[in-house]
Amino acid sequence: MAKMWAGRTSGEVNSLADSFNSSIGFDCRLYRQDITGSMAHAAMLSKQGIISPKDADLIISGLEGILQDIENGSLVIDPKAEDIHMFVEQILTQRIGDTGKKLHTARSRNDQVALDMRLYLRDSADEISSLLRALIKEIRDKAAAHKNTIMPGFTHLQHAQPVLFSHYILAYAMMFARDIDRLSDCRKRINVSPIGSCALAGTTYDTDRAFEAKKLGFDSICLNSLDGVSDRDFCVEFLGALSLIMMHLSRLSEELILWSSQEFSFVEMSDDFSTGSSIMPQKKNPDMAELCRGKTGRVYGDLIGLLTTLKGLPLAYNKDMQEDKEGVFDACDTVKICLEVCAPMIRTMKVNEEAMKEAAKKGFMNATDLADYLVNKGLPFRDAYKISGSVVAWCLQSGKILENLPLEEYRRFTPLADEDVYDAISLENCVSRRISAGGTSAGSVEKQIEFLGDYV
């Protein structure tokens, strides 16, 4: 079948080349954005007197019918079409006749596809932000339900200092809150209209790009037509934001995988979000968390792939830029499904408070509090640090812990030790006395929960 761009060439191409060139297999998902943009374009052409109001009404009515038929399944997108833009225009012309051919006045597929991608990413940013809010809500609720549960905090995956579980898990909520902010900021640069840039140099028609942009909900227009059709930095930035979301999801997933192991037993994943083994009947595997961790790599790959595609392109549009879509679509789909799974996975997760508390008693995590105790008695911190380390070394040799080391043994290292040392190093006080802003005290957790209320 001859192409709508036939003229300079015959419009006939080798069947293998035709298949190689076609993007309908993946850009078909842009049908709604493409039709919405075309309706706004027809309205602008009419407003400017470039086409008659009657023709515009006929075009818009025809496009509305195509959209409705695609969505109700009565119109199937032809896989043999070159792309979604040509498919919609061909169906429109079949239905309303030559008037349909007027739609493409004062635009090019170059600015049309840039428009469609911006509309798609704007919708995706809003949807992903909504999913992030749902995840933050589950984390916030889980923290509120276990507000005073003590667990080990780690550095280098070694026991470091005792913290509240609520404080620990809320750290991830803070990361996801920044992800929402990042998407919101990215959306500002997405929400700029390229339509009217045409192929690269603008058009001789007296168009009103601002009218068309406003009709589509854009904040402004691209001020340089070459830039409007030839850059995909907004896609790269969006993929960067998605990569950070996946990084945070992956780190959270890693914690849950570790915590659900027998060595930790801090949490138990719901059967709804676990699987068994084909050979070992005792196994309960955190496969959903592992998949979230694993899928992070493919989103990173989508980002690097697009950066590599764009790095050597001269202005303006090049067919290489067709390669922007599959990576963007894949990353969006991946992030959405991971967020959709993670929210209920957190909600149904059981927290083993006793196991966390027992683990917190190990590893001399109150050694810093012993040093702080001595500082409050008048010692410089470095001297107090050395004494505290010496006491820990003695405990390790004698098989004791700081909490049950006799006072006379404390006094072998410093005469400043008194009965109140045991109060200073109790796990509960180690946590509650961390009153600095953002610390692990219950008061700080309350403020964090309150702050995150703006994100749910």
Assess whether pLDDT exceeds 50 at residue 1: no
Please identify, in words, the CATH class of the domain defined by 363-455: mainly alpha
| Beta-carbon count within 10 A of 412 CB | 13
- pLDDT for 197: 98
- pLDDT for 16: 85
The dihedrals phi and psi of 161, each to the nearest 5 degrees, come to: -145, 150
Assess whether pLDDT exceeds 90 at residue 183: yes
DSSP label at residue 275 = B
Please identify, in words, the CATH class of the domain defined by 15-105: mainly alpha
- The residue annotated as part of the active site, out of 10, 15, 74, 156, is 156
Cα 120 to the chain's mean position, in Å?
16
State the Cα–Cα distance between residues 392 and 366, nearest whole angstrom. Answer: 10
**pLDDT class for 3, splitting at 50, 70, 90?**
low
In the chain, the percentage of residues whose pLDDT exceeds 70 is: 97
Query: The CATH number of 110-356 is which of 3.50.50.60, 3.90.1150.10, 3.40.228.10, 1.20.200.10?
Result: 1.20.200.10
309-336 pLDDT tens trace: 999 999 999 999 999 999 999 999 999 9
State the Cα–Cα distance between residues 242 and 168, nearest whole angstrom. Answer: 23
Q: Is there a catalytic annotation at residue 156? A: yes
- pLDDT for 14: 80
CB 443 within 8 A of CB 435: yes
Mean pLDDT (the chain) is 95
Sequence-distant (6+) residues with CB within 8 A of 21 are: 13, 82, 319
Q: Is there a catalytic annotation at residue 248? A: no
Measured CA distances, 108 to 228, 358, 417 (Å): 12, 67, 81
User: Could you write out the DSSP letters of every residue in 62-91?
Assistant: HHHHHHHHHHHTSSPPPTTSS-HHHHHHHH
State the Cα–Cα distance between residues 12 and 345, nearest whole angstrom. Answer: 53
Listed in order, the ranges of the chain carrying CATH 1.10.275.10 are: 15-105
- The residue annotated as part of the active site, out of 220, 261, 277, 390, is 277
State the Cα–Cα distance between residues 265 and 259, nearest whole angstrom. Answer: 6
How buried is 69 (Cβ within 10 angstroms: 0-12 exposed, 13-18 middle, 19+ buried)? Answer: middle
Whether the upstream peptide bond of residue 316 has omega within 30° of 0, thus cis, is yes
Sequence-distant (6+) residues with CB within 8 A of 27 are: 83, 84, 113, 116, 325
3-class state of residue 324 by DSSP: helix
- pLDDT for 2: 53
What value does the mean pLDDT take over residues 61-74?
A: 98
State the Cα–Cα distance between residues 88 and 100, nearest whole angstrom. Answer: 10
State the Cα–Cα distance between residues 286 and 268, nearest whole angstrom. Answer: 9
Listed in order, the ranges of the chain carrying CATH 1.20.200.10 are: 110-356
112-134 pLDDT tens trace: 999 999 999 999 999 999 999 99
Assess whether pLDDT exceeds 50 at residue 111: yes
Q: Which residues of 341-366 are buried (b: 16+ CB within 10 A; e: fewer)?
A: bbbbbbbebebbeebbbebbbebbbb
What value does the mean pLDDT take over residues 141-149?
A: 97
Cα 220 to the chain's mean position, in Å?
25
CB 332 within 8 A of CB 242: yes
